[in-house]
Structure 1
């Protein structure tokens, strides 16, 4: 009986992918739009991400011709992301853990906490944000839109580009046709240049991305998905940026539940052990 169920599930997966391939007009943009449509059902979330990092931290050639030799490397980080998408409000808190290359001594930096201004946000976009703790004024932590992971490229992975904007960017890409993979996913493009793979049976979620454009830093993502409250979302991810490898684990604390309390300045100050900022 178990073998029959497995064969039936496999047949369903390939049938979904085959149906898309059979349509000669089905393109990369169609897969991106189907994925975006599935994600629109998520209106709020509270997420914690933990990551282990393998960073070679070798010398870096600067644009002025000089060489920068790092004295420390990133070994781990934690990111909390809370979003009320309907209100256009987001909270990002990131804790970096670094290691001195010469001594191996590890240090925990304090939380870097950033939040958008609810007075200038709406259901169409996140408004400008302000740094509540850590870093320098006018900056924000490195983060990504977790609902767009596997779709955004290297720069978008670090600057928090929202899913809606990333989807619009794909409208200008070549309308690549799909090819069916052995695991039932649909692949687009070339692994030697730009390549994306989507799983039709898991909300059309992206499961693999490779970007090797010209002299830019190679960027790769491979995702494992899990169903959370009826939605297919990242469970783990392997991210490669140049010589740095990250292994991410996702803990979805809530989906489509009230998150107002997470934007309370008092809650933020207590949770991340920071001084409550002025001008609330």
Structure 2
């Protein structure tokens, strides 16, 4: 029988190893330090909208013969009027990971977590994969053991929240010989990072915005050399030249920053954007299922 208990600081290395095994299956070489992981258990400044709504947090672990075989992190959201209706009085399994050969202990761990949320009076419960890295904000398809255990407990993912994450190895990129027209493209500060905007007759016709550094100020050093397309608004299919120019401008900029790999996410229904990215050398990295709702009754 597993020992289900609250996380202790002495557990930090085993917990980090468990989390990093899951991250490494999503993106090659990715990992989080113990310090960054422990800090995220107390607050998540990157979630500047939803984090202030959290009223309670708790991390539980499942231990078998001294080994941590599973862990989950819970959040309980407040009831104040300023809390969004989707989060008001909600309980969340913020993330849930376990060694695949210990699904028995994982089931007991999840049941214990749900019992905590039930005792708190949560009106509804949902689950996600909110480990603080760019591609673990849902349950990736490379974590089938996690998806199966959530499903068995009654969680169902929102089909509208399926995202396809693609990546490109920029070390293999070959730029076209033609220069980009500086009068048709502008580079400015965006709302996430650096924005490139296509201009036609003085009006914007599309843009792409990139985050050049995913290390979050050095706390995620294994992500050095990775970048992300934070926004992608390409012109319609009738103007592939402009779309190509935007993607090329962003790629050249990232290469100057020393980027080796770049990520891009798109909804499963955004077929045109996905097709364009894949024509430019992106390949599917993982498929994320987000916002798993616990079905009652």
**TM over 0.5: same fold?**
no
TM normalised by structure 2 equals 0.29
Considering fraction of residues, name the structure with more strand.
1
TM normalised by structure 1 equals 0.31
Considering fraction of residues, name the structure with more helix.
2
